[in-house]
Amino acid sequence: MKKSLRTSVLAMRDMLGIEERCQKSTLIKEMLFGLNEFHSSSNILFYVATKSEVQTEDMIRQAIKQGKRALVPITDAENKRLLISELHDFDLELEKGAYGILEPTKIYQRLVPLDEVEMIIVPGVVFDLHGHRIGYGGGYYDRMLESIGQNKGTKACLIGVCFECQLVDTIPIEKHDMPVSRIITEERVIMWRRDI
């Protein structure tokens, strides 16, 4: 079920044209930057978008300009986990890493512990109206989110970003799945009251 849902929603997302995707990503960015939680967060983990995902480059650039500590993931494929690094310059410090996704080059890696992160912008292929997600199948974000759920000392606001075409009523979940506390699309912000 998850695999077929992932395939069909990815196909729909891939059909969005570049201009439409950029316009919708801008609307999502504006809603994100309007959240009280965003204003009160200093250390924000963004993903670096690839292919037809909600574009995050402008979000990252603007966050840096606003004096936020913009963080991005580094894929540690050997240990199947994400490391977190502070980013100062989007143009200078990134190169293609694992899976062809931009991440900081070795000389610009400034590792940050997960417990310093106040907000995580979570990518996904499919989100449901309860805050659950289906990713790409590698489990990298699932493992990171699960560790947040297990560490009661970590308080991070989890924000899922996606296009409306990626939203479904419900998806199959497993016991360890960690829902996000907000989903932002180009049309709305969906919120739940959750203590993470």
Share of the chain above pLDDT 70, in %: 95
Helices (runs of H) and strands (runs of E) counted in the chain: 6, 12
140 known ligand binder:
yes
Tell me the mean pLDDT in the region 164-193. Answer: 91
153 is in an annotated binding site: no
CATH number of the domain to which 43 belongs: 3.40.50.10420
34 belongs to a structural domain: yes
pTM: 0.93
CA distance 39 to 20: 27
Number of structural domains the chain divides into: 1
Does residue 119 lie within any of the structural domains? yes
Average pLDDT value for the chain: 93
* Cα–Cα distance measured from residue 191 to residue 184, given in angstroms and rounded to the nearest whole number: 9
In a domain, 85, yes or no: yes
Residue 84 belongs to some domain of the structure: yes
- Domain residue limits at 142: 2-191
The confidence score (pLDDT) of residue 58 equals 98
Residue 96: inside a domain:
yes
Annotated binding residue at 5?
A: yes
Local confidence band at 183 (pLDDT 50, 70, 90 cut-offs): very high
With respect to residue 196, please indicate whether it lies within any of the assigned structural domains: no
Residue-wise pLDDT tens digits, 33-84? 999 999 999 999 999 999 999 999 999 999 999 999 999 999 999 999 999 9
159 assigned to a ligand binding site: no
User: Per-residue pLDDT averaged across 106-117, rounded?
Assistant: 96
Alpha-carbon span 151 to 75, nearest angstrom: 21
Task: Give the count of beta carbons closer than 10 Å to the beta carbon of residue 40.
Answer: 10
